[in-house]
Every structure is written in C-alpha cells, then in structure tokens.
Chains A and B, each alone.
Chain A
C-alpha cells in the first residue's frame, strides 16, 4: 500500500470540507438539512463552465494556460462571478421556497421541499447540458513527486491552497466581523438574537450567499480535478453530511476537519476494498458518529 491515498484523500477532503462549511452554516442558522446543497455545487461548476466558455469565445487570441496549471485566467474570472451567481441562486431558492415554508415553522417540511428542489435542480442541469461529463480543460497534467512515493498535480496543489485560503477567510469572517458574530448568535439562539437587535433576515441572506459561494468554489475544484456532471454535487451529498455532522453542526473548523477525515477515509477505503463501495464509506462514518458522539468533534448542540 503506497501513501498516494493520503494526497488524493487530502484533495478530495478539502473539496468536501469546503462544501460542508456551507452545509453546516445553513444547517445551524436556518435549522434544516438542506438537500439542495449538493446541487448548488453542480450549478456552481456549470455557471463557471458557461461563463468561462463565453469569455473564451469573446477573446480573439489563443489562450495559454496559467503557469503550470491546466486552466487559463477565464476560468478564474468565471469562477469568481459564478460564486456570486450561485449565492444568488441560493437566495432565489430561499425567496420562492424555503423562506415561505420557514414562516410556517415546520423544519421537516423544509427538508421535504429541499429534497424535491434538489431533484428538480439537477434534472434541470441534465436537461440543459445532458448527463455527459465535461471538463474545464483538456490539458493533461503531469503529477510530480513530493516524497514518500506521493505524486500530486499542480492543479491539486492549487486547489489545496485555495481551500486553505477560503477556510481561513471564513474563520476570520465568523470570529472577527460584525455579521459573523451575528451569524453565530442566530445559530445559537434566534429569538435571543432578535431581541438584542440583530437583523435576522440579513443574517439569513448572508448565510445563503456564503453557502452558495462556497458550494460553487467546491464545484469548480471538483470540476478541475475530476469532471463536471449534473450529478457531481448530489453524489457528494452523503460525504458532505458526514463531514458536517462529524465536525459538529455549525462549526467551520469542524466541517473542514470532517471533510479531510471523510476524504482520506474514502481514499484509503478505495485502495483497500476497491472503488465500488466508495459512497458507502462516508455513510459508515456518518452512522458511527451519530451512534458514538452525535454532537461531532467540535459541536456543542445535540
């Protein structure tokens, strides 16, 4: 057994963690398990793909990939715009569906609705783009050795770095900024937060924007290192929930730690028992956490 699974698991885990941050925030602040989160990941990837293609078509000269990476600057610009678009999509969903149900105060009905919306969202992608996988770039990447028999591609390294930056930024936002503190207050006690004058509606809007943007980032990373499919996000849903619950609902460091654990466990599992049961590994982890410590590693609330 080589140690290559560590590198693969780390990259996969970083993406899972990024997705799980958005999930854990919406879970703790809006108080429902949002099944559409996986599909926001797919939509983010497709937004980026469409925007990057448009930018590419508008340019007259040939594009060179950036440095050692497989993608050019249009993907970077498109990714940033797509993060905004995905955030807006999440806001739109909240406006037409979740917000209205929330006012009736039944969290489980919101889960049912999100389950339906999730299927509609990814079927819409399938309708527009078919279920054929597609790619940001057809450039081949040479993986270079980093020691101990582990090889990693420049793209993967870049994704790891980007995930790190986003996590630190999220942590700072939640601990140092006014809106971040407001978000944590609403997550702990919405009624009390309202009493002390926190604008709960604004907190909810911010949560959706951030959740959508991070989902998009995870989608772009997944698209760059694996492929883009309408089901890419939905297939990630179980690892996302496993990561969020493993880390403790509402905890950003927990989500990223949970993501890394799930990612590395999956890669190790693939190496030990084959890729067929990959999706079941996250599920086993999830069950184990729920049975042993339902609050997760960093969580406080049951």
Chain B
C-alpha cells in the first residue's frame, strides 16, 4: 500500500512537471496560435541552466556554482525565456508553418549543442549530482516523494493561477484577438508581433522552469532526454486536454502521462527484456495514433476552450464607466 502511495507521488511529480510545460505551450499555441515544435529545446535550456547554476564545481566543464535550487529555477526561467526571445525576435513575423519548421530546427540545434559542447554540458554523458530538493529525506522514499510532490504541486499551482489570471486579463484577450484575426487586432492599435513575442517568451520561460523541476527531481540530465519525442508528448497532452484551456493543459498532462505509464507497464509485462527497445517504439506509435484520433474525432480535447470575456460583459451589456 505504501509502495503504491510512493509510486503515486512519484508519478504525479513527473505528470505535474509536464503540466507546467503544457501551460507554457498553452500560452503559445492555445492562446496565441504560435506553433512551437521546439518545446524540447526550451525545456533543455532550462534544465541545463539550472544544473550549471546549482551543481558543485566540476573540473571537466564550465560552472558548477553551487547556488541554491531556487536560484537555479529562476535562472532556468530567465535562460529559457531569453532563448525564446531570441528565437521569437527572428521568427515570429514569419508564417505559422515557417515558425513550426524553424522551432523544429532550434530544438535540433540545441540538442546538438548539448551533445557536442563537452566543456559546458558534459556532452553525451550529461550532468549528474544535480541537487535534489529535500535530499535529506532521500533515505525514506515515501517522505521524499511526498515532499517533492508538495513542492511541485505548489509550483504548478502558482504557474496555473498566474497563467489563468493572465488569460482573463486584457493582455490575454489581446493574444486571442491576434490568434483569431490579426488584422482586426492591429487595427485596434495592438502590435501583433510584440504581443506574440511576449507570449512566446512567457511560454518558453515556463518550459524552462519545468525542465529545471524535472532535472532536480531526477538529479541527472543528458541530451537524450530532449529529443523530438518529448515535444510530441507535450503536444499530445495539450491536444488531449483541450488547447486554449489551462485546466485542460493540466488534466491532459496527467491523463496522457498516466496512459504512457500504463502502456509502459503493459509493454514490460508482455515483451521479454531483449525486446524492450522495440516495445518502447510501439508505445510511441500508440501515442501518435491517439493524437491523430483526437484531432479527428474530438479536436476540442477533453475540456476544450471556454469563452473568456471581460467581467463587464458577463455582468451585463453596460460598458464600464
């Protein structure tokens, strides 16, 4: 029984870290309509930034500044946000499908840099000894997982409340206005590219934060963690949950990560150990098919986007004084 609770906590920590990435993607895609296929790249920047800031000094590579974990997480948001700003400044004025191709290229390039700059990222061996929150409890797995769940839960909640408030604010309405009709938004005096850039940076910062949260929970990162399959999982989560809806982003992350873990168990039960690599491939096929089916059958996802309007409109037809 305790094992089950411990696993449940472990599962939820991972699922919630994905939920934070989903919230970031929801700002970019769900609210603003920016098609980012480079999610894995921004997650990687956050994870590596935080790892460099918080690990003990290492002889073989740059950094290891032994800063507190909080500093690492803030650094991760700044690093990934900065990265998103650079990418966005160059690409956001392009057509949506060009943005997809360039973000895909960015993620590939970031992974290449992680793989090849041994002196900065540890190359293919990655970075270990990333300090874990509540490391003092590591002897007692149950307490350790529960404490981490509480921490990640609070971080997710803060992120959720923040993006939810933003989505309901005038700023959020401008984003959706740009998504629905760029020309009309521009005619109202809103600069579409500026708002797009802000949404892109904010989403990227959240992805970086989630990358750092994951890195500190596992304690080890390597370039292999940040392949296009990660981007794809996050997209599946957002689409399943319902893009445009922040609750949907969180629910989708938990549901898809649950399905992913369940199929993982099933695969390891059905296939012999020497076939596990194949089984993992089959798991990805299943998620791919699921994404396609959801897009075909229920494009709104589980929750779907709800109409978010100014509270003055809900209160009545009278305009605010």
Contacts and interface: CB of A to CB of B under 8 A. Distances in A.
A276 B223 CA distance: 14
Contacts of B296: 97, 100-101
A77 interface: no
Given A112-B35, A124-B285, 12 more contacts: A101-B296, A108-B33, A111-B100, A113-B292, A117-B288, A120-B285, A120-B287, A120-B289, A123-B284, A123-B285, A126-B278, A280-B108
Interface string B222-239: 000000110010011001
Contacts of A282: 105
B299 A109 contact: yes
Interface stretch (B44-52, B90-98, B148-156, B253-261): B90-98
Interface stretch (A59-67, A78-86, A283-291): A283-291
A108 B29 CA distance: 10
Interface residues of B, number: 42
Interface string B93-122: 011111011101110110010011000000
Contact of B292 (A116, A238, A280): A116
Given A276-B116, A286-B102, A112 B295 contact: yes
B140 to A, nearest CB: 38
24 contacts: A33-B97, A35-B104, A100-B296, A104-B299, A107-B97, A108-B33, A108-B100, A111-B35, A116-B292, A117-B288, A117-B292, A119-B229, A123-B281, A123-B288, A124-B281, A127-B282, A234-B228, A238-B104, A238-B108, A245-B98, A276-B112, A287-B90, A287-B105, A290-B102
A189 to B, nearest CB: 18
A294 interface: yes
B109 A280 contact: yes
For chain A, the bracket of interface size reads 35 or more
A120 B281 CA distance: 8
B285 A279 contact: no
Contacts of B115: 276
A282 B96 CA distance: 20
Nearest to A100: B296
A115 interface: yes
Contacts of B281: 123-124, 126-127, 131
A208 interface: no
- List the 7 shortest-distance A-B pairs measured between CB atoms, nearest first: A120-B288, A283-B105, A126-B281, A116-B291, A123-B284, A33-B97, A127-B281
Given A101-B295, A120-B292, A112 B235 contact: yes
Interface string B70-88: 0000000000000000000
B188 interface: no
B277 interface: yes
A234 B292 CA distance: 19
B223 to A, nearest CB: 12
Contacts of A290: 91, 94, 98, 102
Interface string A73-111: 000000000000000000000000100110010011101
Given A120-B292, A286-B102, A277 B112 contact: yes
Interface in B264-293: 277-279, 281-282, 284-285, 287-289, 291-292
A279 B98 contact: no
B101 A112 contact: no
Nearest to B238: A112
Contacts, number: 120
From DSSP, what is the main secondary structure of chain A's interface residues?
Answer: helix
A135 to B, nearest CB: 20
Contact of B284 (A104, A119, A241, A245): A119
A113 B235 CA distance: 10
Given A112-B35, A120-B288, A241 B112 contact: no
B37 interface: yes
Contact of B105 (A35, A123, A238): A238
Contacts of A107: 96-97
Interface string A120-132: 1101101100110
Contacts of B96: 107-108, 111
A46 interface: no
Contact of B100 (A33, A277, A283, A287): A33
Interface centre among A131, A237, A279, A287 (most CB of B within 10 A): A287
